[in-house]
Copies of this chain bind each other. A is one copy, B any other.
Amino acid sequence: MPDAGPAPASGGRYAGRSAASAVATIASVARVTLQTIADEVGVSRMTVSNAFNRPDQLSAAMRAKILATADRLGYTGPDPTARALVRGSSGAIGVLLTDDLAYGFRDGVATDFLAAVADELGPTGLSLTLLSSEGRDGVVPARDVAVDGVLVFSCSLDSTARDWLVKRGLPLVLVDQEPDPGFASVGIDDYHGARLAAQHLVDLGHRHVGILISGGSPGTVGRLADPRREAEGWKYVSRQRLAGFLDVLEAAGAEAVAHHVAEHGDHAAAEQAREILGANPRPTALLCYSDVLAAGALRAAEDMGLAVPDDVSVVGFDDNPLATRVRPELTTVRQDAYAKGTAAARALTEALRTAQDGEPAEPVEVVLPTELVVRESSGPAPG
């Protein structure tokens, strides 16, 4: 009676379903669906659906009755997955990060960026799904998770994950990636910013500069024999920044010694910094790919008994919150990660809209400015 009794209107098909369902969910209450409510109230499944999605399509009384029944039976409303299947959209947008998901919560630049994305997305009702670029256990998030569009934020060089996203034909926004005519892209003027940093050192009289960079092939560690050549396959941002450093240094006739840091962390950076600073003659300044690496350089200098900036100048990049937490405070190149996030989120919602409307629409290409911020870690070349 609890199930079969009050459902005279349901066809054999649905009766069959109920039975199957009851068998399928052993030991648990048979799942409540639109049909359950429909059977109970004695209307069609469609009317129940309308009660939830189109209040104006049925009488207020009918709707109230349906909603009450739904509530009594513990029905929470249309199943998100089923709805997503038929509607063709999931209500979530993805952010493709590195294989280390937690990076998005640890790095100051990433959190600023993501906070902006979250702020921008909130009002739209879209949720944010973090995708790691490398899924184990056979599942590849970029291929197997339902999202309506993705912000490709930071991914490894050989980004299989990114390739999957492209193949899936999802609306994409490339953030800090090599611009691709097919997609919207948002980034900062890395090349110019790098030039500013290098020029700053040149202006201070430095003619022998060490460069600490990461973002190259995973295998690479230590001094680069021919930085320009080796950088060819690197991450876009790394290539841009390196090029900016080198162009200015070379034009000024300064000697540049570039070391590649295996992973983007202060620990690894300190190690390379020690190598660079151990040379004779010692470079008078260190130009770093990021503030994170610069923080490592600072530690190395301290360990070696070198005063910053008196013995050696250190310049970072990003103006990570970290930059003002270390001592001395870092001279760096400022980027507005929050603005980048806002722009990226907007570009994606825009892409989502045009994808839905079928309009082709030229993808935007945003390049945010960078700016030199002189603090305490840089000074005139010694001697």
Contact = CB atoms under 8 A, between A and B. Distances in A.
Contacts of A105: 104-105, 111-112, 114-115, 118
Contact of A77 (B26, B115, B122, B143): B143
A145 B127 contact: yes
Nearest to A132: B122
Interface string A212-239: 0000000000000000000000000000
A145 B91 contact: yes
B129 A92 contact: yes
Interface in A85-133: 85, 90-92, 94, 99-102, 104-106, 111-112, 114-116, 118-119, 121-125, 127-132
B131 A130 contact: no
Interface stretch (A40-48, A134-142, A363-371): A134-142
A127 B114 contact: no
Contacts of A121: 101
Contacts of A81: 81, 84-85, 90, 146
A74 B135 CA distance: 22
Contacts of A325: 325
Interface in A306-336: 325
Contacts of A112: 105
**How many copies of this chain sit in the oligomeric assembly?**
2
A82 B80 contact: no
A125 B114 contact: no
Given A82-B85, A119-B101, A127-B130, A76 B143 contact: yes
A2 interface: no
A96 to B, nearest CB: 11
Interface residues of A, number: 58
Contacts of A145: 80, 90-92, 127
> Max chain B CB contacts within 10 Å: which of A26, A106, A112, A122?
A122
A119 to B, nearest CB: 5
A286 B368 CA distance: 43
B118 A101 contact: yes
Contact of A91 (B114, B128, B136, B144): B144
Contacts of A79: 85
A132 B127 CA distance: 7
Contacts of A164: 76
Give the top 8 A-B pairs by smallest Cβ distance, nearest first: A101-B118, A125-B139, A102-B115, A102-B118, A105-B115, A80-B146, A105-B111, A128-B130
15 contacts: A28-B358, A76-B143, A76-B164, A77-B144, A80-B144, A80-B145, A80-B146, A81-B85, A81-B90, A91-B139, A105-B111, A106-B115, A128-B130, A129-B130, A325-B325
Given A76-B167, A125-B139, 20 more contacts: A74-B169, A76-B169, A81-B81, A81-B84, A81-B90, A91-B145, A101-B118, A101-B119, A101-B121, A105-B112, A106-B115, A118-B132, A125-B141, A127-B141, A127-B145, A128-B130, A129-B129, A129-B130, A130-B130, A146-B146
